[in-house]
Amino acid sequence: MQTQMLPEVELVTRPARYAKLILEDGTQFEGRSFGYQGSTSGEIVFSTGMVGYPESLTDASFAGQILVLTYPLIGNYGVPASSLWEDEHIHVKGLIVSNYIDTPSHVQSTMSLGDWLVQEQVPALEIKDTRLLTQHIRDHGAMLGKIIFEHDVPFYDPNHENLIARVSTHQVTKYGQGPKTLALIDCGAKKNILRCLLKRNIEIVTVPWDYDLFASGTDFHFDGILISNGPGDPKQATSTIQTLRTALEQKVPTMGICMGNHLLTLAAGGDTTKMKFGHRSQNQPCIMKDSQRCYITTQNHGFVVSDIPPGFEPWFTNANDGSNEGIIHSSQPFMSVQFHPEAAPGPVDTEWVFDYFLEKI
Ligand SMILES: NC(=O)CC[C@H](N)C(=O)O
């Protein structure tokens, strides 16, 4: 029997660098850096999903936030090609994990997570006790935080800024073909929304968050509106809310996803508030109205519909905490979901919501 020699592996050892994670209430954690070595600040949020860090990091809804991943091993499958990301670059302001794995093994991997974070100038720390950190946020509520190397930086509250204006597209772009046209208001749309729509024989026109679809100069016809996910406080997106008010008046079929659920609610006269610590994971159970049917959904939100607008009723309700997970109008084709029917990452059980809406167009 022949003994096969293993190829020689060059071990690259980087000197360990440490930094601090400081929360707004003074709580501190020391961590080992595995990303860009520079200070950063934002709102600290945690996700309990077991997979999907490439998709989460590139989800524009995380803009302004430092993401804590509670799944203990992160980095094992590296980073896939950018065609599989949710946007062209990383949106989180920082990343906190328990154990970073620097030796990725996956057929789709093109680089390690650490290299990607360095390339995109995103700081990341391994703090070991992500469980303690998460329990702290769960007990005391969402709070600001910062990752500090040598230079201190001030705390930064992303909910006081119109982040949608920063992540939205600046141009009108047509995709796909089909007998009907859907206007997609891009508040920071995950790419999988477009991928899901493109499978469905429809033309899609993406427009910026503040594009007036009803202005006389609009040179394309549309049969329905889809409002995407997006970062920050929905009440900052006043132009989108105004456009949606007109859409409701003119009875244009309209659907919202996550931020879209908030914006439709606000346009229709309901209200949104900030949750204690939000829902971020791929296993949020949502019960559909008039049924015992429970869908397992992907979520990433810190705000919630607190007042259902007149004429609408709750469409889905979270089975864990009873919070609203979507609204639907009792007679008109207006509907929205708090979860992500496009998933990425997560279960695809609610992709039918796209078909349900497109049937109304
Ligand atoms: N994923 C989203 O669209 C998030 C919506 C909003 N920024 C929130 O945190 O609730």
Per the structure block, which two tokens stand in for 239? 């132009």
C-alpha of residue 124 to centroid of ligand 1, in Å: 22
Which strand (E) or helix (H) includes residue 148? Answer: strand 143-148
Helix, coil or strand: residue 105: coil
Place of tokens 């804590």: 68
From the CB of 188, is ligand 1 less than 6 Å away? Answer: no
In this structure, which amino acid lies at residue 266?
L
Domain co-membership, 276 together with 190: yes
Per the structure block, which two tokens stand in for 259? 């931020």
Parent domain of 79: 18-160
pLDDT digits (tens, 9 = 90+) for 185-243: 999 999 999 999 999 999 999 999 999 999 987 889 999 999 999 999 999 999 999 99
Domain co-membership, 327 together with 178: yes
How far apart CA 121 and CA 176 sit, in angstroms, is 34
Pairing, β 124-126 against β 28-33: antiparallel
Average pLDDT per block of 10 residues along the chain, 361 residues long:
59 79 98 98 97 98 98 98 98 98 97 98 96 98 97 98 98 97 98 98 98 90 98 98 98 98 98 98 97 97 98 98 98 98 96 98 94
Helix, coil or strand: residue 358: helix
Domain co-membership, 194 together with 228: yes
**Among residues 160, 183, 202, which one ends one of the domains?**
160
Question: Is 0.90 exceeded by the ipTM?
Answer: yes
240 within some domain: yes
In this structure, which amino acid lies at residue 318?
N
**Among residues 130, 160, 190, which one ends one of the domains?**
160
1 within some domain: no
Q: What angle (nearest 5°) sits at the alpha carbon of residue 326, between those of residues 325 and 327?
A: 145
- Residue 8 has a pLDDT of 61
Is the separation of the CB atoms in 286 and 294 below 8 Å? yes
| Ligand 1 pocket, mutate which of 262, 298, 306 (most atoms under 8 A from CB) | 262
8 within some domain: no
**Among residues 160, 189, 206, which one ends one of the domains?**
160
Please tell me whether 303 is known to bind a ligand. yes
CATH number at residue 119: 3.50.30.20
Q: Indicate which residue's Cα is closest to atom 3 of ligand 1.
A: 229
- Global pTM value: 0.95
